[in-house]
Amino acid sequence: MSMTSAQLIEDLGGVQSEALDELQGLTSEESLEEWRVKFLGRRGRLTTVLRTLGSLPPEDRRAAGQEANRTKTLLEEELGAARRRVREGRFALLAEQEQIDVTRPGRPATVGRYHPLTQIIREMCDAFVSMGFQVIEGPEVEWDHYNFEMLNIPSDHPARDMFNTLWIDHKDAEGRQSMLLRTHTSPMQARTMEKTDPPVRVVVPGKVYRYEATDATHEWHFHQIEGLAVDKGITMAHLKGTLYEFARRVFGPERKVRFRCDYFPFVEPGVDMSIDCFVCEGQGSVNGSPCTVCREAGWIEILGAGMVHPKVLSDVGYDPAIYTGFAFGIGPDRVAMLKYGIEDIRLFYSNDLRFLGQF
Amino acid sequence: MKIPLSWLRELVDFDIPAEDIAHGLTMAGLEVGDVIVVGGWENCSVGFVERVERHPNADRLVLCTVDLGEDAPHQVVCGAPNVAQGQKIAFAQVGASLIDARNGKLSKLKPAKIRGVVSRGMVCSERELGLGEDHDGILVLPSDAPLGMALDDYLGDTILDLEPTPNRSDWLSVLGVAYEVAALTGNRVRPPEVLYTEEGQEIRNLLSVNIQDADLCPRYTASLIRGIRVGPSPRWLQKRLEQCDVRPINNVVDVTNYVMLEYGQPLHAFDYETLLRQRIHVRRAYTGETMTTLDEIEIPLGSDHLVIADDRDARALGGVIGGLDSGITEATTDVVLESASFDPSNNRRTAADFSLRTEATVRFEKGLRPDLPPLALRRATQLIQQVAGGTVARGIIDVYPEREKPRPMLLTTARMKQVLGMEHSMEQAASVLRSLGFDAAVENDETLRATAPPWRSDIIIEDDLVEEVARIVGYDSIPTEMLETAIPYHDGQELRAFRERVRDLLVRQGLQEIISYSAVGLDLLRKARIADTDDDLLTVSNPMSREFKYMRPTLRASLMNTLSYNVARDARAVAIFEMGRIYLKQGEDLPQEPEIAAGLLHGQRTGEGWLSAPASYDFYDAKGIVESLLGRLGVEGEFRPLADDFLHPGKAAAVSVNGAVVGSVGEVHPLTAEAFEVDGTVVFFEINVTRLFEAMPQARQSVKPLYRFPASLRDISILVGRDVPAARIQQIIDGQPLVERAVLFDVYEGDEAPPGQVSLGYRIHFRAPNRTLSARDVNRSLARVLSLLEREVGAVQRGAGEGDVA
Ligand SMILES: [Zn+2]
């Protein structure tokens, strides 16, 4: 049987309208695939028509070919559009078909927690690290020599009363008690300077111990962060600048800072730094009742500091005429109590998970 | 130290409120703990009891007629047993605010009808005025109290409660504090005027003093007052002492205390007649010598103790306490006054030896200057004569073998600049120092020369002068600067950084960090089956309590304690760790203080949610934490069975890294768990972080190349004897050339496994770095694995060929 181009074009038209008709009612990806096989597949209707293209006279082939390609492109485009329509329709149903109860509790991931003192010590050390201090540590069981003697506190010095000491069962060659639990982190001042030539710029966090009856604000066992900076040209202005910056970072820029004179045997002049009370805003009372945080003072003592005593410097072989420095000691337990509104220091060491779980 | 403002005003003028004085002192270094206002008694005044009559309707009440110096006397009802005609009393009129003795609260006095008699006012007790606790009777005032004077003017005062620092003996004196006030206000101190008449013989003909041990007593001064009358002190003197919390005793002793409060120099009074041959020897005690103190306690003396003795006996423990037999009594007529310097260290040790910390020793131990005794002596001599009469012998005894020369010190602008970062003019510095009682002379623009006053024992070096100027001018004037010099480097931070990394990794694995006390008791160690005796423990000589007698040799005990504490408080899941030091005795040296990380897991691993089937922590949770930790640190742990009394004998392993044992992991022994009242399994791990740090490979970690060719997976299932460690099987599989890794994914030990055998499933990943493996390559390698397993550990493949391709 021989074909004419007109006949072929008519056939193409028939396939096209039949295909488009059928395509209209299809709603699933499977039926679209069946449709594609039926019309556009290797044995599909359009292909079958196209196979007859070769039997046309050469002069007819061009026009019929163009028509055939047009039909094919049209059907493919329509298929693409139908596919998009079907996909969109499927996702439109997700809400109905795949809905879960989003208000049920999720699957918990296990997340650990740092002890609040670890957090505060890191925060405080970080503030000093950013000012060029390096973090080192030292022994908690110490010699009297480093804990007192090298800090300008000889035996029988009344300043020893400031440091109620827990002693270790140990006698030196002369039968004296010489080993103790460090009462402050300050022994690292002499230890560091003995080991290093100036300049020095360190902070020393760690546990310290005092023979002290415990109550809500006193523990026999707490933490301290020692700071020491020694170099040529270090003055009390640097001490103030460093501690201002520390207070700004840890307590926020709105806090006021106050420096007053105080006495520690290993510094001269001595300093005590307070911040204004953030509970009563320095007023001493809240809504007419006395502020319990600052005990009506309006100020809270945060740390002791001062210029390193020339005796401390010369005892480690630094020339106090050339080198000056400052030292400070801060209690992170107290800082954490203030920051988090903790009223009993003993909570830090009783390790109640209901408490620790809040940090 | 309590100081009434009325006393301060006697020595220095100031017209600023007490709060401002308190603030100024505090900023300059003398903390004022409290400002106590005594008074505020409106409508209260000094009254005179004209008449006391029976109350018509009550046996225990009386009617008092009180004269206030006004037109009409007041009649009030009074119940106090001690009220009597002719007394001066504190009288409150209607409208006065008094403390209600029943509840301690302030209330306004109203007219009242008591048993039919109208009472308009009240005769006050100490407690009602807030002056003390006494409410047994009314407060009887001295007979010279001015009639009608407002009680505020007569009894009122403001008292500063000071907290002096240990370096400032002068802050334990009114005069010392007056100089602070003078420096802060710019006013001048008026020291007490000391004037009295001496009569009769020279003192040196009546008394001899010999210092034998001048190292312990550099200076001894004394005066002699004869023919005095011992009795109660006048009211003004008693009041001052009471305001300073010192109990009045008799006029002589009261004067010594008064002058101690005024000048800071303790004094002692002897009964002249009791001193054998009127000779005083200041000497070390003899061995075996004893003395009975004023408190009637006999104390054994030795050559470390300094005594004030007559020709035979110790009569006082120098600078600490007097002896009983030489003290002032009612019968005393002649008094030797002692004002001396004592060695501060010896004084402090002696006080400690006999637990006799007195008002004297807290001053002497701070090192009073030898310049002070004669000043205080003359002041006390004057006052004794004033309040007890008598005649003062001519001159004073002053034994001062090695006279200290005045020590002028230089203060330079250069040093001020070097320490403070700022300068004060020499004029300004000198003016500050003078106001504090120093002698100060400006030498030139850069230097001044200063000598500290006799009551300042704390001025030793130039920086002490720098501080004086800085603190009085105020620290606020010092500028604020940041450190700008190069940042130094310090060794010794590596272990700490490593430890912090371990801490981070444990927190990231879901553990809660705890911090426990560094000391433990033997009871706790025994309970945890850690130690039976204290043989190797570092012992605290003066522990806070039994439970803190030893520095902890392990974190285990306190971890168990924490677990137990929280389980008792309904904790359902406990996953905790501590990072802290333990303390290991090391002969004569300081102990070792290795850093330990240890943790406990107990209870529900999975939480209570609807999503997870309940499961409890077991051995492999603890092991997994250690494995993950080590893996993350880039090393591999080796686990071998371990015998350890704290742990379950069948569920405990030692952990090694690069051949060094660095810790352990295991189930806590059920007996230990039981002792701590914990039901169910408790698992434990412990890493000696210091040792692990030392065992870490030195080589820098290098990055492995990324895979370029795909892996092939095969699952095998083998039956093997239960005694074959999984680590051995793992080692055999991992040892094969094309095996990249193998994961134990299944363990079956149930009934269907042959007796004594366990079925293990491994998923093996094969990979070559340079090509895609063919099925033949993989099968050949797998076959080798299986045959090796059979040869080495007798493993038999189970259900071979099924599902072996993943
Ligand atoms: Zn406050």
Of the listed ranges A319-333, B79-93, B200-214, B783-797, the one predicted with least confidence: B79-93
Burial A33-51 (b: 16+ CB within 10 A, else e): eebbeebbeeebbbeebbe
Residue B590's pLDDT band (cuts 50, 70, 90): very high
Distance (angstroms) between ligand 1 centre and the Cα of A301 equals 11
Q: What residues have CB less than 8 Å from B742, skipping those under 6 apart?
A: B730, B733, B734, B762, B763, B764, B765
Instruction: Fill in the amino acid letter for B308.
Output: I
Query: What span, in angstroms and rounded, lies between the C-alpha atoms of B309 and B278?
Result: 10
Nearby residues of A66 by Cβ (< 8 Å), 6 or more positions away: none
pLDDT tens digits, one per residue of A27-54: 888 999 999 999 888 888 888 888 887 7
Q: What is the Å distance from ligand 1's center to A294 Cα?
A: 4
Backbone angles phi, psi at A273, to 5 degrees: -105, 130
Count of Cβ atoms closer than 10 Å to residue A356 Cβ: 22
Question: Rounded CA gap, A225 and A208, in Å?
Answer: 10
Is A156 in contact with B344 (Cβ distance < 8 A)?
Answer: yes
pLDDT in tens, A67-120: 888 888 999 999 999 999 888 888 888 888 888 888 988 887 778 999 999 999
For the purposes of burial, counting CB atoms within 10 Å of the CB of A248, is it exposed (0-12), middle (13-18) or buried (19 or more)?
Answer: middle
Nearest alpha carbon to residue B32 among B161, B159, B157: B161
The confidence score (pLDDT) of residue B803 equals 41
What is the spatial distance between Cα B609 and Cα A233, in angstroms, rounded to a whole number? 63
The tokens for A269 are: 């002049």
Q: Which of residues 330-389 of B touch A (CB under 8 A)?
A: 344-346, 348-349, 362, 365-366
Looking at the complex, report in whole angstroms how far the Cα of residue A92 sits from the nearest Cα belonging to chain B. 29
CA distance B124 to chain A (A): 30
Chain B 595-654, CB below 8 Å of chain A: which residues?
Answer: 607, 609-612
| Whole-angstrom distance, CA of residue B367 vs CA of residue B691 | 50
Lowest mean pLDDT among B119-128, B467-476, B661-670, B732-741: B119-128
B669 or B97, greater pLDDT? B669
Q: Tokens 């003004």 correspond to what residue? A: B236
- Residue in B158, B185, B171, B180 with CA at minimum distance from that of residue B25: B180
Of chain B, the percentage scoring pLDDT greater than 70 comes to 99
- HSE, side-chain direction, 13 A CA sphere, residue B181: 29
Confidence of residue B805 (pLDDT cuts 50, 70, 90): very low
What pLDDT is stored for residue B801 in this prediction?
45
- Tell me the chain A residues in contact with residue B183 when contact means C-beta distances shorter than 8 Å: none
**Do the strands B219-226 and B397-399 form a parallel or antiparallel pair, or are they unpaired?**
antiparallel
Which residues have a Cβ under 8 Å from the Cβ of A239 and sit 6 or more positions away?
A: A271, A305, A306, A307, A326, A328
Containing B633, the helix (H) or strand (E) segment is: helix B619-633
Compute the average pLDDT of residues B112-133: 83
pLDDT in tens, B398-439: 999 999 888 899 999 999 999 999 989 999 999 999 999 999
Q: What is the ipTM of this complex?
A: 0.86
Tokens 């502020």 map to which residue? A291
Instruction: Look up residue A31 and give its two tokens.
Output: 């039926």
Rounded distance between C-alpha atoms, residue A32 and residue A36, angstroms: 6
- Kindly report the CA angle at A231 between A227 and A233, in degrees rounded to 5? 115
In whole angstroms, what separates CA B337 from the centre of its chain? 38
Q: Hey, how many other C-beta atoms are within 10 angstroms of the C-beta on B156? A: 16
**Is residue A8 helix, strand or coil?**
helix
Asked whether the beta carbons of A142 and A165 are under 8 A apart, the reply is: no
User: What is the predicted pLDDT for the residue at B802?
Assistant: 39
Reported as a pLDDT band with limits 50, 70 and 90, residue B799 is low
What does the angle CA B32 – CA B35 – CA B37 come to, to the nearest 5 degrees?
165
Report chain B residues whose CB lies below 8 A from the CB of A108: 607, 609
Which tens digits make up the pLDDT trace of B447-487? 999 999 999 999 999 999 999 999 999 999 999 999 998 89
Of the candidates A191, A217, A210, the residue with the CA atom closest to the CA atom of residue A202: A191
Across chain A, mean pLDDT equals 91
B contact test, residue of A100, A103, A107, A115 with most B CBs within 10 A: A115
For position A222, what pLDDT does the model report? 95
Query: Closest approach of chain A CAs to the CA of B579, in angstroms?
Result: 10
Beta-carbon-side half-sphere exposure of residue B244 (alpha carbons within 13 Å): 25
| CA of B160 relative to ligand 1 center, distance in Å | 21
The pLDDT, as a whole number, for residue A3 is 64
Query: Could you tell me which of B701, B712, B687, B447 has the C-alpha nearest to residue B582?
Result: B687
As residues whose CB is below 5 A from the ion ligand 1, the structure lists A 277, 279-280, 291, 293-294
Per residue in B226-251, pLDDT tens? 999 999 999 889 989 998 999 999 99
Q: How confident is the model at residue A348 (pLDDT cuts 50, 70, 90)?
A: very high
Could you tell me the two tokens for B678? 């914990």
Q: B572 CB near a chain A CB, below 8 Å?
A: no
Residues whose CB falls within 8 Å of the CB of residue B8, separated by 6 or more in sequence, listed in order: B14, B160, B174, B177, B178, B181
Cβ contact B669:B646 at 8 Å: yes
Terminal Cα-to-Cα distance of chain B (whole angstroms):
86
Q: What angle do CA B775, B777, B782 make, to 5 degrees?
A: 90
Backbone CA torsion sign across B564, B570, B572, B573: negative
Domain definitions of chain A by residue range? 5-97, 116-356
Over the stretch A208-254, which tens digit does the pLDDT of each residue have?
A: 999 999 988 889 999 999 999 999 999 999 999 999 999 999 999 98
Q: Could you tell me the two tokens for B386?
A: 């004033």
- Residues with Cβ within 8 Å of residue B240, at least 6 apart in sequence: B4, B7, B258, B261
Which pLDDT belongs to residue B605? 83
Q: Are B463 and B471 in contact (CB under 8 A)?
A: no
Q: Choose between B186 and B597: higher pLDDT.
A: B597
DSSP A98: S
The CATH number assigned to the domain with range A116-356 reads 3.30.930.10
**Range B570-574, long-range pairs (CB < 8 A, 24+ positions):** B571/A353, B571/B603, B572/B603, B572/B604, B572/B608, B573/B602, B573/B603, B573/B604, B573/B605, B573/B607, B573/B617, B574/A353, B574/B600, B574/B601, B574/B602, B574/B603
Q: How far apart are CA A160 and CA B352, in angstroms?
A: 13
Using CA atoms, how far apart are residues B398 and B378, in angstroms rounded to an integer? 12
Q: Cα-Cα-Cα-Cα dihedral of B745, B751, B755, B761, to 10°?
A: -10
User: Which residue in A has a C-alpha nearest to residue B581's C-alpha?
Assistant: A140
What are A249-281's pLDDT values in tens digits? Answer: 999 998 899 999 999 999 999 999 999 888 888
Interface residue of A151, A168, A178 to substitute, partner B, most B CBs within 10 Å: A168
Closest chain A CA to residue B568: A352
Which range, A21-25, A55-59, A310-314, B399-403, is most confident?
A310-314
Q: Using the predicted structure, report yes or no on whether residue B655 has a pLDDT greater than 60.
A: yes
